[in-house]
Amino acid sequence: MKLRSALAATLLPAMAVAMAPPPSLAAAPMAAQRQAPGFYRMHVGRFEVTALLDGTHPFPVDKLAVGAKPGETEKLLAKHYLASPVEGMINAFVVNTGDRLVLVDTGAGDLYGKEAGGLSQALRASGYAPEQIDDIFITHLHEDHVGGLVKDGRMVFPNAAVHVSRRDFDFWTDDKNQAEVDALLKPFFPSVQGVLRPYVEAGRLIPFEDAAQDLIPGLRPVPSPGHTPGHTSYLLHDGKDAMLFWGDTVHVAGVQFDDPHVAIKYDWKVPGAIASRDKLLADAVGNGWWIAAAHISFPGIGHIAASEAHGYAWVPANYTLNR
């Protein structure tokens, strides 16, 4: 009995120490308030496509929606556990054709302050450098699609040719057209002209006319005016495989897939923007195209499905590490 009591006196304190929780490490400071540089890679036929995240920013859907019924945007967003303002994506895309490195849109760069400007970092993290870009295809001349062309007044992509619709170029480089846009868009004229200027002066800005043929092998322009006069989508195609880079066809997935006739105050001509969206949505479903979207949650790549109830549904790419 004495031996048992002695063992108990020795073991019980040791057991109590062993069973005590380890010291907390939660006193460590919080990590930096930014995510890692965003990129996601996949293949479309022979082409390698890399989605890049330039940044995100609060998008006040309730204030910017046009043509929505009272309470409609709030109800539709709530279906997706969202409320206005939603976090708007600023996505861009790189296409490696095998012999050319192509960028579709450039993000907002410095024009959106701390909410953007991450494209070059994401591009480098993905294994490429801005100096390697051969061609840039701009969907339209809004700040969040061309702002990344320059940094401190200098070309970010010094070896690239910049391709843009002649209609958009002529519109946004002529100040008299400010009379045609909402007050929200008037500041875009000087800022867009500013980021284009170095490329124009270097002879690297190449406007193109509406055409049905490829601008480079495998990349065809698809005119989709309305959001801007020369808003252009681009169809990347290789046999049966295809991806449509559709720019600002959809700004708010949680609203405009359910009701494609809800427009946005950033639209130059609302009826034209709606008509282009209707056509591209139907074409995407009918052809089974991949979609690469500027303002759908990163990486902004997926398919469109016709909804049994009404409207359409976004089907995001099945995420994988093995592309």
Residues 216-274 have pLDDT tens digits of: 999 999 999 999 999 999 999 999 999 999 999 999 999 999 999 999 999 999 999 99
Q: Report domain extents, the chain.
A: 36-316
Cβ–Cβ < 8 Å for 92, 131: no
Q: What are phi and psi of 229, to 5 degrees?
A: -60, -35
Residues 67-124 have pLDDT tens digits of: 999 999 999 999 999 999 999 999 999 999 999 999 999 999 998 888 888 999 999 9
Residues 181-217 have pLDDT tens digits of: 999 999 999 999 999 999 999 999 999 997 779 999 9
Cβ–Cβ < 8 Å for 21, 106: no
Instruction: Write down the pTM of the prediction.
Output: 0.89
Q: CA 319, CA 99: separation in Å to the nearest integer?
A: 27
Contacts of 199 (CB under 8 A, 6+ apart): 149, 155, 162, 205
Task: Cite the beta strand spans of the chain per DSSP E.
Answer: 39-44, 47-59, 65-66, 86-96, 101-104, 135-137, 150-151, 154-155, 161-165, 205-208, 219-223, 232-238, 241-245, 263-264, 290-292, 301-306, 312-316
CATH 3.60.15.10 fits 36-316, yes or no: yes
Share of the chain above pLDDT 70, in %: 89
Q: CA 239, CA 310: separation in Å to the nearest integer?
A: 31
Binned at pLDDT 50, 70 and 90, residue 11 comes out as: low
